[in-house]
């Protein structure tokens, strides 16, 4: 028999609604799984087991009373520790916020609570979402369930690992330059970055305001659609959230993809991409063609400027956003002095890790007078060129397909050069710069490790990329495979 933790959200939802299983049973199965595996994987910064069981009881009462329920009622989920949860520690992977208990819920959390979810806990991440491996967490690294010596990707590594290991039925993360899609690829789960403005950022601890988006991790496209549906839509608390109507994402999964126009960006076949990744992605493209899609090449000529432009804009915004951590407003505060400047300096010296400090310095430099025009302003102009590449491509294509990451999960400690780590996001960063949506789906294996297939869609075309993802998953079984975590360990 299938174990409870192997169910998908839509399967579990049906069993909950017809009362074959209870949310308490389901939640307990996940808490047991967490107890058995968390020592090895270390996906969570906090497991909220008491709260989870209480929420599960509430959900069961809703089912018993025949009250209105949502597709997520009673479903056990994990939340990246960058999303504010009222009264529940939200660390953002940083010593700065180690003891921070937000006085309010993020809009996403409010919507999820109203939907009646069960929160299993908060997941580990690179500090302030800066990184691609979850090794920059101030607390401990998370490990990849497919190989515990390897990283789960980042910065939302905890969320991806939790879903991959069956320690959560789905999860939420945030993606500024790839932090949902790349860990999704490394861990063999679906990871979706919505269009900028699709999901409220209110209560998302900010990294780079013009790039950040919250999005879901799931075992398949249908579950990702359900998770997105629950949080998408306008929020008056976020002035950048879009008043655009939200389509019915699961309804969009129907039908085939015959005649759909799929573009393959030429510039995404870069030197240095592992041959095993290239092979899996080419095979994935073949599958899409066999499903009736019209596949042809497309050029996105400014692709190579993506990483350099991102590493001006993201640190510039971060340096401004992180100025709030001064030891006065909230978070860690150095108190052993009467001197204000010393207090400020020591607060930031201790509170921030190395990578965060590096970004603050980079960003402050790029924004300083005399350099602003040469770096920040120019980067913004090139960002527009990158956006125009996509605008032109989406005149001819419905979806673009590429690898998610140039390689499979690397070993812990293997990438010690920051620049090397930055290149990890070469295929994911352009979507954030352009504000379009993208999803990474399980696309095969190379030497036993998962390979992600990235599908990029135009703004507010989440329904289209989910539709393609779902069609792909109807004829492939990569997404149904499990890591052999409990065997021989
Ligand atoms: N790896 C990228 C960075 O370090 C992207 C991170 C993210 O998407 N949050 O900035």
User: 178: Cβ below 6 Å to ligand 1?
Assistant: yes
What is the average pLDDT across 176-204?
98
Atom of ligand 1 nearest to the CA of 359: 10
Best mutation site among 80, 129, 196, 430 for ligand 1 pocket (most ligand atoms within 8 Å of CB): 129
Measured in Å, residue 15 CA sits from the centre of ligand 1 at 37
User: 425: Cβ below 6 Å to ligand 1?
Assistant: yes
Residue 426 has a CB neighbour count (10 Å cut-off) of 24
User: 173: Cβ below 6 Å to ligand 1?
Assistant: no
What is the average pLDDT across 346-368?
97
Q: Compute the distance between CA of residue 467 and CA of residue 461 in angstroms, rounded to an integer.
A: 10
State residue 486's pLDDT score: 67
pLDDT tens-digit series, residues 274-305? 999 999 999 999 999 999 999 999 999 999 99
Quick one: which of 265, 295, 213 has its CA closest to 389? Answer: 265
Atom of ligand 1 nearest to the CA of 175: 8
User: 131: Cβ below 6 Å to ligand 1?
Assistant: yes
Which residue's CA is minimally distant from atom 10 of ligand 1?
Answer: 130
Which tokens hold the place of 467? 């539709």
This prediction has a pTM of 0.98
Residues designated catalytic = 80, 155, 179
Atom of ligand 1 nearest to the CA of 422: 1
pLDDT tens-digit series, residues 319-337? 999 999 999 988 999 999 9
């Amino acid at each position: 028999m299938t174990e409870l933790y192997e169910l998908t959200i839509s399967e579990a939802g049906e069993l909950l609604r017809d009362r074959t299983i209870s949310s308490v049973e389901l939640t307990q199965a996940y808490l047991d799984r967490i107890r058995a595996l968390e020592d090895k994987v270390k996906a969570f910064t906090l497991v909220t087991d008491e709260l989870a069981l209480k929420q599960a009881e509430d959900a069961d009462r809703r089912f018993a009373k025949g009250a209105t329920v949502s597709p997520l009622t009673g479903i056990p989920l994990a939340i990246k520790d960058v999303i504010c949860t009222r009264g529940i520690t939200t660390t953002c992977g940083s010593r700065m916020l180690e003891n921070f208990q937000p006085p309010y819920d993020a809009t996403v959390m409010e919507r999820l609570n109203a939907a009646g979810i069960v929160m299993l806990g908060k997941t580990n991440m690179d500090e302030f979402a800066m990184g691609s491996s979850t090794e920059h967490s101030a607390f401990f690294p998370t490990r990849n369930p497919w190989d515990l010596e390897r990283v789960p990707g980042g910065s939302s590594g905890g969320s991806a690992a939790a879903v991959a290991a069956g320690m959560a039925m789905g999860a939420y993360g945030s993606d500024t330059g790839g932090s949902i899609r790349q860990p999704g690829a490394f861990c063999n789960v679906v990871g979706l970055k919505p269009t900028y403005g699709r999901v409220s950022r209110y209560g998302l601890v900010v990294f780079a305001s013009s790039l950040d988006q919250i999005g879901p991790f799931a075992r398949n496209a249908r579950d990702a659609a359900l998770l997105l549906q629950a949080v998408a839509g306008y929020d008056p608390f976020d002035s950048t959230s879009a008043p655009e109507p939200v389509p019915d994402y699961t309804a969009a999964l129907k039908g085939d993809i015959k005649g759909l126009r799929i573009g393959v960006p030429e510039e995404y076949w870069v030197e240095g991409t592992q041959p095993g990744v290239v092979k899996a992605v080419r095979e994935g493209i073949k599958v899409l063609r066999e499903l009736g899609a019209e596949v042809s090449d497309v050029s996105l000529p400014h692709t190579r400027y993506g990483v350099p432009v991102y590493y001006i804009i993201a640190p510039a915004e971060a340096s401004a956003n992180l100025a709030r951590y001064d030891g006065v407003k909230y978070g860690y505060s150095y108190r052993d002095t009467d001197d204000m400047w010393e207090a400020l300096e020591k607060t930031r010296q201790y509170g921030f890790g190395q990578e965060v400090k590096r970004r603050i310095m980079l960003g402050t430099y790029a924004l300083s007078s005399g350099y602003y025009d040469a770096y920040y302003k120019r980067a913004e102009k090139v960002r527009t060129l990158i956006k125009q590449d996509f605008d032109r491509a989406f005149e001819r294509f419905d979806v673009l397909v590429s690898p998610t990451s140039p390689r499979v999960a690397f070993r812990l400690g293997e990438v010690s050069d920051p620049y090397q780590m930055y290149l990890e996001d070469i295929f994911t960063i352009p979507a954030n710069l352009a504000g379009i949506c993208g999803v990474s789906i399980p696309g095969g294996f190379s030497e036993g490790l998962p390979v992600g297939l990235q599908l990029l869609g135009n703004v507010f075309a989440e329904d289209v990329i989910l539709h393609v993802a779902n069609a792909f998953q109807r004829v492939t079984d990569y997404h149904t495979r499990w890591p052999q975590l409990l065997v021989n360990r």
